[in-house]
């Protein structure tokens, strides 16, 4: 695969290096581009399955591209795997609970909600908690990232809808 060079690196790297310089306009724009990319994936009837800030790259401060489609599958392809893949903090609790089964487009929406929390806070979700079975259990029981800054209520409401325990109540990528 050949792609253009992403000068700013991953979203995670961008947040690490420039978070204090980012205003809400920038945060909304970057989330918009990420949501637009996710919508393109979902309109193609695909599920990404490994959607996190390390798999989002930025050519410049205002353009984001979703990468790493190694686990991406068609919506119609049922997962027969009994293994959970991806970065634990971003994995849908339903997938954790079902031991790797149950990935849907709504799982990607959950991951987007976690990415929103990361953009708001500037640091990775659960950065201060060991990423182990105990964290998986806590996520399945409703643990969500704590937002430690002032966030516009509209964005907070959208993030919480994305992180809803009931996948059917989460928005679609198009609605984002």
- Res 37: pLDDT: 92
Do residues 176 and 39 make contact, with C-beta atoms less than 8 angstroms apart? yes
Report, in angstroms and rounded to the nearest whole number, the Rg of the chain calculated over CA atoms: 15
Residue 153's CB is within 10 A of a number of other CB atoms, namely 8
- Three-state SS string over the chain comes to CCCCCCCCEEHHHHHHHHHHHCCHHHHHHHHHHHHHHHHHHHHCCEECCCCCHHHEEEEECCEEEECCCCCCEECCCCCCCCCCCCCHHHCCHHHHHCCCCCCCHHHHHHHHHHHHHHHHHCCCCCCCCCCCHHHHHHHHCCCCCCCCCCCCHHHHHHHHHHCCCCHHHCCCCCCC
Average pLDDT over residues 77-104: 78
- Superfamily of structural domain 9-71+79-169: Transferase(Phosphotransferase) domain 1 (1.10.510.10)
β-bridge mates for residue 155, sequence order: none
Higher pLDDT, 72 or 123: 123
CA–CA gap between residue 90 and residue 29 (Å, rounded): 21
Percent of the chain topping pLDDT 70: 85
- Res 143: pLDDT: 96
- 107, containing H or E segment: helix 105-121
Q: How confident is the model at residue 84 (pLDDT cuts 50, 70, 90)?
A: low
Do residues 30 and 11 make contact, with C-beta atoms less than 8 angstroms apart? yes
- Res 16: pLDDT: 92
Do residues 107 and 49 make contact, with C-beta atoms less than 8 angstroms apart? yes
The pTM of this model reads: 0.90
- Res 77: pLDDT: 65
Active site residues: 50
Q: In this model, does residue 50 exceed pLDDT 80?
A: yes
Work out the widest C-alpha separation in the chain, in whole angstroms.
44
Average pLDDT over residues 58-81: 67
Q: How confident is the model at residue 98 (pLDDT cuts 50, 70, 90)?
A: confident
Give the pairing of strands 63-66 and 56-60: antiparallel
- Res 121: pLDDT: 96
Average pLDDT over residues 16-45: 93
- Res 112: pLDDT: 98
Going from N- to C-terminal start, the domains of the chain cover 9-71+79-169
Q: How confident is the model at residue 114 (pLDDT cuts 50, 70, 90)?
A: very high
């Amino acid at each position: 695969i050949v792609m253009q060079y992403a000068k700013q690196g991953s979203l995670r790297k961008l947040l690490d290096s420039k978070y204090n310089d980012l205003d809400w306009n920038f945060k909304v724009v970057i989330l918009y581009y990420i949501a637009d990319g996710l919508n393109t994936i979902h309109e193609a009837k695909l599920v990404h399955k490994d959607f996190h800030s390390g798999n989002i790259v930025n050519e410049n401060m205002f353009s984001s591209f979703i990468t790493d489609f190694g686990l991406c599958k068609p919506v119609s392809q049922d997962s027969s795997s009994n293994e959970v893949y991806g970065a634990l903090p971003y994995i849908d609790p339903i997938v954790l609970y079902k031991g790797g089964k149950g990935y849907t487009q709504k799982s990607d929406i959950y991951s987007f909600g976690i990415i929103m929390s990361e953009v708001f806070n500037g640091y990775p979700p659960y950065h201060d908690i060991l990423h182990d079975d105990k964290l998986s259990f806590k996520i399945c029981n409703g643990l969500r990232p704590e937002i430690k800054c002032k966030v516009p209520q509209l964005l907070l409401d959208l993030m919480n809808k994305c992180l809803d325990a009931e996948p059917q109540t989460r928005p679609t990528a198009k609605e984002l």
